């Protein structure tokens, strides 16, 4: 396997016909490669498990670029997502994202609709915001949300992660270096005037913000 033969691997990008299976993930993280990796691009791969996305984020401290979200909706093909049910919200000592020096992150989250009504969904949202908040060097952020539906009913659990101040984006005030934000693929965002005003105040270097509509400074 090519990955196994590269002991000081710094960059790995998958082609559109490749599968990132468990053996490939193991090879990627073995032999200290988890410490040398700086750039990973999975947005074109045809398969990668959600739990492996989480494993990589908690295992690679020197990542600068992590792309696991395609740039547009993939109607008839695989579209990577991190399922929130794979997040360690029930453990106070659960693994945190290790890649605190990230400069670019492209990631999507799904599974909100699968959380049963007898369980709170906010702890999952808090975990996401808490992990993003420590990425203080981040300059580019693409966020995606639930797959499939273009319309979500009012009682859908997806609205817990709507990128509003109420949901917790105030935790991201630490991202002072952010220059580019795209949440167009977070279809269940409810960004309004309060959020835009907050963004202007707290992200002084932001030059492009793509939500329901494009905003440029």
Give tens-digit pLDDT for 102-132: 999 999 999 998 998 889 999 999 999 999 9
Category of 168 on φ-ψ map: left (φ > 0), alpha (ψ -120 to 50) or beta: left
**Residue 154 scores a pLDDT above 90:** no
Q: Does 3 or 168 have the greater pLDDT score?
A: 168
Q: What pLDDT, on the 0 to 100 scale, is given for residue 211? A: 77
pLDDT band at 189 (very low <50, low <70, confident <90, very high): confident
Report the pLDDT averaged over residues 46-72: 91
**Residue 217 scores a pLDDT above 60:** no
**Residue 139 scores a pLDDT above 60:** yes
CATH number at residue 8: 3.80.10.10
Q: What pLDDT, on the 0 to 100 scale, is given for residue 207? A: 95
Q: What pLDDT, on the 0 to 100 scale, is given for residue 30? A: 87
Report the pLDDT averaged over residues 169-190: 93
**Antiparallel, parallel or unpaired: β 65-67 and 82-83:** unpaired
Determine which of 31-45, 71-85, 145-159, 163-177 has the lowest per-residue pLDDT on average: 71-85
Q: What pLDDT, on the 0 to 100 scale, is given for residue 127? A: 95
- Expressed as residue numbers, the domain containing 148 is 3-216
- pTM for the full model? 0.90
Report the pLDDT averaged over residues 138-157: 84
- Sole residue written with tokens 């691009």: 41
Please give the Cα distance from 104 to 110 (Å, whole number).
Answer: 20
The fraction of the chain above a pLDDT of 90, given in percent, is: 54
Write the CA distances from 165 to 33, 53, 109, 170, 195, integer angstroms.
38, 27, 18, 6, 6
Q: Does 163 or 92 have the greater pLDDT score?
A: 163
Indicate the number of domains in the chain: 1
Mean model confidence pLDDT for the chain: 87
Q: Does 164 or 73 have the greater pLDDT score?
A: 164
pLDDT band at 72 (very low <50, low <70, confident <90, very high): low
């Amino acid at each position: 396997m090519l990955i196994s033969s590269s002991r000081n691997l710094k960059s790995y990008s998958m082609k559109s016909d490749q599968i990132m299976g468990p053996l490939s993930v193991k090879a990627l993280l073995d032999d200290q490669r988890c410490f040398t990796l700086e750039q990973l691009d999975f947005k074109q791969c045809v398969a990668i498990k959600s739990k492996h996305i989480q494993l990589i984020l908690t295992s690679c401290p020197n990542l600068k670029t992590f792309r696991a979200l395609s740039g547009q909706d993939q109607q008839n093909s695989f579209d990577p997502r991190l399922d929130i049910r794979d997040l360690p919200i029930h453990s106070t000592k659960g693994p945190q994202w290790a890649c605190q020096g990230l400069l670019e992150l492209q990631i999507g989250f799904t599974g909100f609709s699968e959380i049963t009504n007898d369980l709170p969904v906010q702890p999952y949202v808090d975990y996401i915001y808490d992990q993003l908040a420590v990425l203080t060097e981040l300059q580019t952020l693409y966020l995606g949300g639930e797959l499939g539906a273009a319309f979500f009913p009012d009682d859908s659990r997806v609205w817990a992660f709507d990128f509003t101040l109420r949901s917790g984006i105030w935790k991201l005030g630490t991202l002072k270096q952010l220059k580019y934000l795209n949440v167009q693929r977070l279809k269940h965002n409810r960004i309004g005037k309060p959020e835009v005003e907050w963004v202007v105040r707290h992200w002084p270097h932001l030059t492009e913000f793509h939500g329901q509509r494009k905003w440029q400074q």
